[in-house]
């Protein structure tokens, strides 16, 4: 900014200097040229007048006398009389022979020689008048003398001026009349005109100069503004108008300097949008951009004065907390940011729920410089994404996780190899019929019995698998385990369906249908005992590819369930057109049912149930943790429920009592399972 100020001063100063000099020169030249022209014009007029006078004066004379310079008394009297007629304008009239001797003068004691011999000779030589400015000593009535401006005109007298009968062809100069005109009035007139011209020129140029100066000033100001704007834009993200990574880096550096000086703390919150790539790929970049703009808008609105929200690129945003009181308060800010995503985003006619993953890191707690702060916040964000906790604060344990993630992925590959597949075990959680209390099916949930890390839940490795493409193998393993389990139960007379969770990636290609069909026929298991669960959000993202797969599965006889329903953007009425048999209401809605003072969830769940029933869907409520909820759900018309209230997910051999037992009816699992 300071440098542009210097530039502006320079520009204006430069203009003043250059323009003043050139304006002055221009003015001077203009005035000089104009006054020259005026003077020339007046001289020409004077010469013409002098010629007219000459003609009058010499008319009474003989060419011969004039040539010789011998005028007699009569001639003189005649000339005197002629001269008298112009007395008001002439100061003196003289007649010279061409050789320069005086023939006549109105003066009492005239000089005997030509005052300007050179001009005189020129006039004689080419026969044209010559004019010369001079002064005339004038005697005032009081006897004092003053010099007044006068004009000497040397007018050559041609023979024809006297004798109109002179032979044509030759018209020699016979004498020269020197007519001295009083130039006082003309001079004053010219001077007055020059003054006026000067005034006009000066005024005009001054006005022009002021206008130019103002223009230059304004332009220079505009240039400065443009420069400022460019500088600003270089620090802003073009899509959202938020500060960009560069500005964030600048501000972070400053904040860190201040924090070091004052012993305060700098917090950095990194955020990215879960599944943004899917949104972009399936809904198009326009929608993706729209979403980013809306996210930016919400973040900006939630900003405090000191905070800085920046977009780092893609779906990554950052919030700098330059003076945060504690790590806890940074975390609280992050939680607040997360709640900004609770209301759905409206992209045209599409209503979309998206969730962010947010990482928090603080300096000096987790990092001691800007790049370390960025890195630790990034690690925390990854942790948030993979544990699906929404917000994660950096911890050294977390940090290991980026390395750990890679290692884990390698180990997952290993575990999926034939020899180690027992590490990946299916657990089963019962689904209970709300009207009878009987177990009517199981959902399979994978657990990884990791040799060093103990039991890992899907949150810890399924996203990893989804990102790396291992998911297809993982799903194949889950399907094979579940179908084998169904076969084992069938062998002991149990016909109870098992649901397998599928990822979006699994159902974008129809090969999954062939694989399932092959499995079912290999184990000789009826298709109706197999269910697949696909999340609502997955369905929304790529319906064009997923729906045909689900349709084929349905035709095969496999039941299709929509999982986690209610948090995505599908309206129940859209389900009418989808090849779906079961609707699983997400845990969030179920949990809200018994929240004190809240009635809306009840209404929503009831509406969901009624609509789903009208399309012939079975409704399952997830995450039922207490009896009150179970009772309420039954009242609202839900068909089945699942949750810790009934049972946690357990390995098949711990489902009580062992299904291999002769009773053929595990405790807690009541009702007829035989087909």
Among 175, 446, 456, 529, binds ligand C2E (CB under 6 A): 446
CB contact at 8 A, 309 and 416: no
Among 501, 503, 618, 640, binds Ca ion (CB under 5 A): 501
Among 156, 601, 649, 666, binds ligand C2E (CB under 6 A): 649
419: tokens are 């020899």
Q: Distances from the Cα of 659 to the Cαs of 3, 248, 432, 643, 656, in angstroms? A: 84, 61, 17, 21, 7
- Per CB under 6 A, contacts with ligand C2E among 460-489 are 462, 475, 478
378: tokens are 């990034």
Query: Computed from CA positions of residues 53, 57, 63, 65, in that sequence, does the dihedral angle turn out positive or negative?
Result: negative
Of 194-202, 296-304, 620-628, 650-658, the window that binds Ca ion (rule: CB under 5 A) is: 620-628
- Per CB under 6 A, contacts with ligand C2E among 54-113 are none
Among 182, 533, 536, 639, binds Ca ion (CB under 5 A): 533
Cβ-Cβ contacts under 8 Å for 593 (sequence gap 6 or more): 601, 602, 605, 629, 632, 633
CB contact at 8 A, 550 and 558: no
Q: Which residue from 230, 232, 228 is spatially nearest to 244, judged by alpha carbons?
A: 232
Q: Name the residue nearer to Ca ion (CB basis): 75 or 564.
A: 564
Pairing of strands 266-273, 530-535: unpaired
Q: Name the residue nearer to Ca ion (CB basis): 120 or 565.
A: 565
439 binds ligand C2E (CB under 6 A): no
User: Where does residue 638 rank: exposed (0-12), middle (13-18), buried (19+ CB within 10 A)?
Assistant: buried
Q: Name the residue nearer to ligand C2E (CB basis): 49 or 634.
A: 634
DSSP, res 620: E
Minimum distance of ligand C2E from residue 347's CB (angstroms): 25
Alpha-carbon span 236 to 311, nearest angstrom: 9
Alpha-carbon span 408 to 395, nearest angstrom: 19
Residue 503 contact among Ca ion, ligand C2E, none, beta carbon within 5 to 8 Å by kind: ligand C2E
DSSP string, 460-520: HHHHHHHHHTTHHHHHHHHHHHHHHHHHHHHHTT----EEEEE-GGGGGSTHHHHHHHHHH
Of 97-105, 232-240, 402-410, 620-628, the window that binds ligand C2E (rule: CB under 6 A) is: 620-628
Q: Which residue from 333, 306, 321 is spatially nearest to 391, judged by alpha carbons?
A: 333
Q: Distances from the Cα of 348 to the Cαs of 471, 572, 577, in angstroms? A: 33, 19, 22
221: tokens are 């100001």
Around 458, how many Cα atoms within 13 Å sit in the side-chain half-sphere? Answer: 17
Among 457, 551, 594, 670, binds ligand C2E (CB under 6 A): 457
Among 306, 328, 368, 459, binds ligand C2E (CB under 6 A): 459
Specify which residues 245 forms β-bridges with: none
CA 460 to chain centre: 40
Alpha-carbon span 21 to 19, nearest angstrom: 5
Q: Which residue has the tokens 């011969």?
A: 64
Alpha-carbon span 443 to 648, nearest angstrom: 11
506 binds Ca ion (CB under 5 A): no
Q: Name the residue nearer to Ca ion (CB basis): 255 or 532.
A: 532
497 binds ligand C2E (CB under 6 A): no
Minimum distance of Ca ion from residue 401's CB (angstroms): 25
Residue 478 contact among ligand C2E, Ca ion, none, beta carbon within 5 to 8 Å by kind: ligand C2E
Q: Name the residue nearer to ligand C2E (CB basis): 31 or 478.
A: 478
Of 231-239, 367-375, 457-465, 545-553, the window that binds ligand C2E (rule: CB under 6 A) is: 457-465
Q: Name the residue nearer to ligand C2E (CB basis): 503 or 570.
A: 503
- Per CB under 6 A, contacts with ligand C2E among 560-579 are 563-564
Alpha-carbon span 520 to 558, nearest angstrom: 10
Length in residues, the chain: 675
Residue 459 contact among Ca ion, ligand C2E, none, beta carbon within 5 to 8 Å by kind: ligand C2E
Alpha-carbon span 154 to 94, nearest angstrom: 9
Alpha-carbon span 158 to 164, nearest angstrom: 10
Pairing of strands 345-347, 316-321: unpaired
633: tokens are 């759900």
458 binds ligand C2E (CB under 6 A): yes
Among 429, 485, 570, 629, binds ligand C2E (CB under 6 A): 429
Residue 462 contact among ligand C2E, Ca ion, none, beta carbon within 5 to 8 Å by kind: ligand C2E
Residue 315 contact among Ca ion, ligand C2E, none, beta carbon within 5 to 8 Å by kind: none
The stretches of 234-270 forming alpha helices (DSSP H) are 245-262
Residue 156 contact among Ca ion, ligand C2E, none, beta carbon within 5 to 8 Å by kind: none
Size of the site for ligand C2E (CB under 6 A): 22
Alpha-carbon span 621 to 583, nearest angstrom: 8
Minimum distance of ligand C2E from residue 563's CB (angstroms): 5
| Site map (CB under 6 A) of ligand C2E, residues 316-355, x = contact | ----------------------------------------
Q: Name the residue nearer to ligand C2E (CB basis): 445 or 593.
A: 445
Among 356, 568, 601, 623, binds ligand C2E (CB under 6 A): 623
Among 399, 564, 581, 639, binds Ca ion (CB under 5 A): 564
501 binds ligand C2E (CB under 6 A): yes
Q: Name the residue nearer to ligand C2E (CB basis): 71 or 561.
A: 561
Q: Is 594 helix (H, G, I), strand (E, B) or coil?
A: coil
C-alpha Rg value of the chain to the nearest Å: 55
Among 237, 563, 581, 639, binds Ca ion (CB under 5 A): 563
Of 32-40, 90-98, 563-571, 630-638, the window that binds Ca ion (rule: CB under 5 A) is: 563-571
The residue ranges that bind Ca ion (CB under 5 A) are 501, 533, 563-564, 622
**Interface residues toward ligand C2E, by CB under 6 A:** 429, 445-446, 457-459, 462, 475, 478, 501-503, 533, 563-564, 587, 623-625, 643-644, 649
């Amino acid at each position: 900014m300071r440098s542009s100020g210097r530039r502006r001063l320079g520009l204006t100063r430069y203009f003043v200097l250059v323009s003043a000099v050139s304006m002055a020169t221009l003015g001077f030249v203009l005035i000089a040229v104009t006054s020259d022209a005026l003077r020339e014009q007046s001289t020409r007029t004077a010469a013409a007048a002098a010629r007219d006078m000459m003609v009058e004066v010499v008319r009474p004379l003989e060419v011969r006398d004039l040539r010789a310079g011998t005028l007699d008394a009569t001639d003189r009297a005649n000339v005197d009389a002629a001269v008298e007629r112009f007395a008001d304008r002439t100061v003196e009239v003289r007649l010279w022979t061409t050789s320069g001797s005086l023939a006549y003068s109105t003066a009492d004691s005239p000089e005997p020689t030509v005052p300007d011999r050179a001009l005189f000779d020129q006039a004689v030589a080419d026969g044209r008048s010559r004019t010369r400015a001079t002064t005339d000593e004038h005697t005032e009535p009081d006897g004092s003398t003053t010099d007044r401006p006068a004009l000497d005109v040397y007018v050559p007298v041609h023979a024809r001026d006297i004798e109109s009968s002179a032979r044509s062809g030759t018209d020699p100069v016979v004498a020269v009349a020197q007519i001295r005109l009083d130039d006082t009035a003309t001079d004053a007139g010219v001077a007055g005109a020059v003054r006026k011209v000067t005034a006009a020129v000066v005024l005009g140029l001054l006005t022009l100069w002021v206008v130019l100066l103002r223009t230059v000033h304004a332009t220079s100001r505009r240039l400065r503004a443009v420069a400022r704007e460019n500088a600003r834009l270089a620090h802003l993200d073009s899509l959202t108008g938020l500060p960009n990574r560069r500005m964030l880096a600048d501000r972070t550096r400053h904040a860190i300097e201040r924090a070091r000086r004052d012993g305060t703390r700098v917090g950095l919150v990194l955020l990215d949008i879960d599944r943004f790539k899917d949104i972009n790929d399936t809904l198009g970049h326009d929608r993706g951009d729209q979403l980013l703009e809306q996210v930016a808008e919400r973040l900006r609105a939630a900003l405090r004065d000191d905070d800085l929200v920046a977009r780092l690129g893609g779906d990554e945003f950052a919030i700098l907390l330059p003076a945060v009181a504690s790590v806890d308060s940074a975390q609280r800010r992050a939680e607040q940011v997360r709640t900004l995503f609770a209301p759905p985003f409206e992209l045209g006619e599409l209503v979309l729920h998206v969730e962010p993953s947010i990482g928090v890191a603080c300096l000096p707690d987790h990092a001691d410089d800007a790049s370390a702060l960025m890195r630790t916040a990034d690690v925390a964000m990854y942790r948030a994404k993979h544990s699906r906790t929404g917000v994660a604060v950096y911890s050294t344990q977390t940090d290991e996780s980026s390395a750990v993630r890679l290692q884990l992925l390698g180990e997952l590959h290993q575990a999926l190899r034939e020899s180690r597949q027992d590490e990946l075990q299916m657990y089963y959680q019962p689904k209970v019929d709300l009207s009878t209390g009987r177990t009517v099916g199981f959902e399979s949930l994978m657990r990884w019995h990791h040799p060093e890390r103990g039991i890992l839940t899907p949150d810890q490795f399924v996203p990893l698998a989804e990102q790396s493409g291992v998911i297809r193998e993982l799903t194949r393993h889950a399907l094979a385990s579940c179908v084998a389990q169904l076969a084992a139960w069938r062998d002991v007379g149990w016909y109870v369906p098992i649901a397998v969770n599928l990822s979006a990636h699994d159902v974008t290609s129809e090969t999954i249908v062939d694989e399932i069909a092959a499995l079912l026929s290999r184990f000789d298991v009826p298709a109706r005992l197999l269910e697949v669960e696909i999340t609502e959000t997955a369905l929304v993202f790529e319906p064009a590819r997923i729906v045909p797969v689900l349709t084929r599965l349905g035709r095969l006889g496999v039941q299709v369930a929509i999982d986690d329903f209610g948090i995505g953007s599908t309206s129940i009425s859209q389900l009418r057109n989808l090849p779906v048999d079961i609707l699983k209401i997400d845990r969030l809605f179920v949990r809200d049912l018994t929240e004190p003072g809240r009635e809306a969830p009840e209404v929503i769940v009831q509406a969901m149930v009624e609509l789903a029933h009208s399309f012939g869907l079975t409704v399952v409520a997830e995450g039922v943790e207490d009896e009150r909820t179970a009772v309420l759900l039954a009242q609202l018309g839900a068909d089945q429920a699942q949750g810790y209230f009934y049972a946690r997910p357990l390995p098949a051999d711990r489902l009580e009592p062992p299904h291999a037992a002769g009773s053929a009816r595990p405790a807690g699992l009541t009702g007829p399972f035989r087909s």
